[in-house]
């Protein structure tokens, strides 16, 4: 958990102005996140903090690769990710999250931890399916041995009588 302290921004001493931060997210970051779906990767994050009197506006430019298992062959592969996000942090009486883009923190706070937001943004940039990309000829780059095993697996084409009863039921 101490490793994640490098993703905490102390804003009390910052002037009302625009400030820039650069973070590199690596295996140690993902290992520090409890129950992380990603085990490894190298992601660079440029953060622009626009410090106002009553709020902080964080803009994130995220780009890099994460290692994920392929949904088809189960081998790990590097999946490129890239995107931008914005987070508005307002000051109030107590901590609240009125929306995904707005967070309210206590007036007494002097720092803000970005680690959970960075992880969340990376997860949200992943596609629904994680499949090895095709090569320049349009051929799959998945583990060929696994694809061969899958193609040999017979899918039963027999009629399943358990479904007949449901097919015959009609709503009147």
pLDDT digits (tens, 9 = 90+) for 102-136: 999 999 999 999 999 999 999 999 999 998 888 88
What is the span of the domain harbouring residue 21?
A: 2-152
Whether the CB-CB separation of 84 and 61 falls below 8 Å is answered with yes
Domain assignment of residue 164, yes or no: no
Asked if residue 163 has pLDDT above 60, the reply is yes
Asked if residue 26 has pLDDT above 60, the reply is yes
Whether the CB-CB separation of 111 and 9 falls below 8 Å is answered with yes
Domain assignment of residue 159, yes or no: no
Check residue 156 and give its pLDDT. 63
- Which of helix, strand or coil describes residue 4? helix
Domain assignment of residue 124, yes or no: yes
% of the chain at pLDDT higher than 70 = 94
Kindly report the average pLDDT of the chain as a whole number: 89
Domain assignment of residue 54, yes or no: yes
pTM: 0.81
Number of domains in the chain: 1
**Number of C-beta neighbours around residue 91 at 10 A:** 15
Check residue 172 and give its pLDDT. 54
Place of tokens 């890239």: 82
State the average pLDDT over residues 43-49. Answer: 97
With residues binned 3-state (H G I as helix, E B as strand, rest as coil), the percentages for the chain, rounded to 5, are: 25, 40, 40
Domain assignment of residue 172, yes or no: no
């Amino acid at each position: 958990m101490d490793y994640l302290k490098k993703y905490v921004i102390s804003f009390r001493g910052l002037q009302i102005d625009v400030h820039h931060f650069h973070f590199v997210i690596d295996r140690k970051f993902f290992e520090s996140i409890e129950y992380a779906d990603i085990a490894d990767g190298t992601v660079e994050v440029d953060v622009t903090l626009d410090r106002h009197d009553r709020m902080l506006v964080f803009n994130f430019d995220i780009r890099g690769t994460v290692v994920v298992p392929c949904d088809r062959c189960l081998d790990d592969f590097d999946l490129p990710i890239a995107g931008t996000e914005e987070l508005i942090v307002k000051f109030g009486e107590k901590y609240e999250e009125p929306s995904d883009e707005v967070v309210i923190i206590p007036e007494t706070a002097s720092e803000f931890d970005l680690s959970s937001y960075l992880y969340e943004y990376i997860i949200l940039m992943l596609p629904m399916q994680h499949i090895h990309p095709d090569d320049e000829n349009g051929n799959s780059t998945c583990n060929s041995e696994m694809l061969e095993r899958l193609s040999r697996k017979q899918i039963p084409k027999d009629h399943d009588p358990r479904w007949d009863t449901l097919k015959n039921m009609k709503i009147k």
